[in-house]
Amino acid sequence: MNEMKQKNIESTKFDIPPELQGQVEITTIDKIYNWGRRSSIWPLMFGLACCAIEMICTAASRYDFARFGMEIMRPSPRQADLMIVAGTVTKKMIPQIVRLYNQMPEPKYVVAMGACASGGGPFKEGYNVVSGVDRYVPVDVYIPGCPPTPQALIHGLITLQRKIDTQSIKKVRWYSKEPIDAIPVPLLGPDVVDPRQNAIIREQAEKIIEQSETNAAGTAQVEQA
């Protein structure tokens, strides 16, 4: 076991007799569990816009995020742990992104790479752009930049590893007794509709109908007079 791996998993609370050092490690379930996950994060292979070019570059030989245990990008959400949202999230794409997120098994993580994925970027408030992917899926790490450099992406991935290091098997959502509900897939019509907002949309529509009926009744009374 090399020095770096040893440092990540060992617990310093107990002394190991000198004759067993190098052969025995004492650690906690949390540490070994987190070490296993943080050292084998497989990203889902997809990109949305210019930021994806930087992500591809980070996976290639010069930067090579396999050095962090992110060995291979998986083309199937069922084999992926990490969704890197690299690029502009359009209203046309968000239903597919949410569907892919739902298809990823727990534990799963999301990195918003770049200004567009984090908040809409230069296209914020555009007619076809979602102002941040976190409106639909939970984001663990945001990486600023337009586009972020490969170094920035690597920094974001290391930040994610540090976040994983702090998780406890007792508190993680995928082991809680309550079922984890899938995120409702947004509907794309003339605009994108978030099904979680259905009650509010219905209420507002009813108010508008009520108001227009009142106005119509008022107009009819004036005409009769």
The span of 65-73, 108-116, 160-168, 184-192 binding ligand SF4 (CB under 6 A) equals 108-116
If one counts every other C-beta atom within 10 angstroms of the C-beta of residue 177, the result is 4
Residue 147 near ligand SF4 by CB under 6 A: yes
From candidates 146, 158, 200, 201, binder to ligand SF4 by CB under 6 A: 146
Residue 77 near ligand SF4 by CB under 6 A: no
Nearer to ligand SF4, 51 or 98 (CB): 51
**In angstroms, rounded to a whole number, what is the distance separating the alpha carbons of residues 131 and 145?**
15
If one counts every other C-beta atom within 10 angstroms of the C-beta of residue 75, the result is 10
- For helices 150-165 and 29-38, the axis angle rounded to 10 degrees is 160
Choose among 15, 189, 169, 46: nearest CA to 110: 46
Q: How far is the CB of 162 from ligand SF4 (least distance, A)?
A: 24
Q: How far is the CB of 52 from ligand SF4 (least distance, A)?
A: 8
Nearer to ligand SF4, 100 or 193 (CB): 100
Helix (H, G, I), strand (E, B) or coil at 113: strand
Choose among 175, 164, 155: nearest CA to 31: 164
Choose among 78, 79, 137: nearest CA to 112: 137
Q: What character string, x for contact with ligand SF4 (CB under 6 A) and - otherwise, covers 23-62?
A: --------------------------xxx-----------
Nearer to ligand SF4, 43 or 114 (CB): 114
Q: How far is the CB of 223 from ligand SF4 (least distance, A)?
A: 55
DSSP code at position 186: P
Residue 120 near ligand SF4 by CB under 6 A: no
Contacts with ligand SF4 by CB under 6 A lie at 49-51, 87-88, 114-116, 121-122, 146-147
